[in-house]
Structure 1
Amino acid sequence: MTRHFAKGLWSGNVRRTSCAHDTAIFTGAAIYINIAEQPARLQLDDSSLLAEWKLAYRRGYMMQASLTIVGGFFGAVAFFATFEWRWLLGAAVLLANWPYTIFAITPTNQRLMNTPAGAATAETRRMIGRWGILHAGRSVLGLIATLLFLWAER
């Protein structure tokens, strides 16, 4: 990516609306899952817990994945336009959600998705509890990236 091209992409309000805000939306959604959705679903019986987790996972996956890509892209564009290292570090931290999810969370996701609706047990509940703890890592990565982007804007 050339500096001229990056500066063209970086003009106007793109910086504020497409980088820090996108990442803050990702972070807010991730934290919401940890402090509201996950505790609420854990109050359900095992079968309802699994059914709710599957529905929420399917709906949240694309939103969270898209937000990391968009925020990471614009963080990289900001770096190439300004050569300010905080933009690049913020983009790297935000994009770290991908390998973290693939290697740390996906095995649990697959086990839960492969559990038939009527076969939920106490082990299913423990896996969903573990999933919530693992998901908190995504919240932390998002928060760090958001703070880095806000710092870079100063």
Structure 2
Amino acid sequence: MLSGLFALVFASAFAGAALYLNLVEQPARLALDDSSMMREWAPSDRRGFALLGGLALLAALAGLSAFAHGGDIRWLLGAVIALASWPYTYFVVVPLNNRLLAASPGQPAADSREIVTFWGRLEWGLFAIGAASTGVFAWILG
């Protein structure tokens, strides 16, 4: 079942990208001074948002396709979990993104470092969603 394999690949890529963000990119960002941190955060956030959103959508579509072909409800469960990253991002992460984007990169707000630190903790939720989706898809294929 090729669509199921693609679902696993895209969900794994999503989880891996979220893990990279949390273990590599966020600590490096926090090591910068406030102004540099904000200049790095804005373009990184836009690219990461597009990457993670696209991978979640692809994982969900592939999972739905596998469900349509095989009828195993676990494919639907994995797809729904992958899609859960969209409302999580929109309702939990985006409000912080908007606060950070409203600040001038040259003159970051006094609490910018605290917001970026908290934002990084919220990003672990995306990793959890990706890992859960990956786990469901691996369970089916395993």
Matched, 1:62 2:50: yes
Query: Which one of the candidate residues 84, 98, 111 is aligned to 2:99?
Result: 111
Aligned to 2:87: 99
Which of 103, 114, 124 aligns to 1:136? It is: 124
Q: % of aligned pairs identical? A: 38
Query: Distance between the aligned counterparts of 1:43 and 1:21, measured in 2?
Result: 32
- Does the alignment pair 1:15 with 2:4? yes
Q: How does 1:42-81 map onto structure 2 within 5 Å?
A: 42-81=30-69
1:83-129 CA-partner distances (Å, limit 9, x unpaired): 11211111111100000011111100001111111221440000000
Secondary structure of 1:117's match? coil
Question: Is the Cα contact below 8 Å between 2:3 and 2:65 reproduced in 1?
Answer: no
**How far 1:15 moved relative to its partner?**
2.8
State the Cα distance separating 1:148 from its structure 2 match: 0.3
Structure 2 counterpart of 1:147, one-letter code:
G
3-state SS of the aligned residue for 1:20?
helix
Unaligned stretches of 5+ residues in structure 2: none
Alignment counterpart, residue 38 of structure 1, candidates 23, 26, 50: 26
SS for the counterpart of 2:103 is: coil
For 1:15, give the aligned amino acid: G
Q: RMSD of the alignment, in Å?
A: 1.1
- C-alpha distance in 1, partners of 2:17/2:60? 16
Q: Distance in 1 between matches of 2:110 and 2:29?
A: 14
TM-score by length of 2: 0.95
8 A Cα contact 2:15 2:131, kept in partner: yes
CA contact (8 A) 1:93 1:144 kept: yes
Between stretches 34-43 and 75-84, larger displacement belongs to: 75-84
Q: Which has the larger radius of gyration?
A: 1
Residue identity in the other structure for 2:131: L
SS of residue matched to 1:119: coil
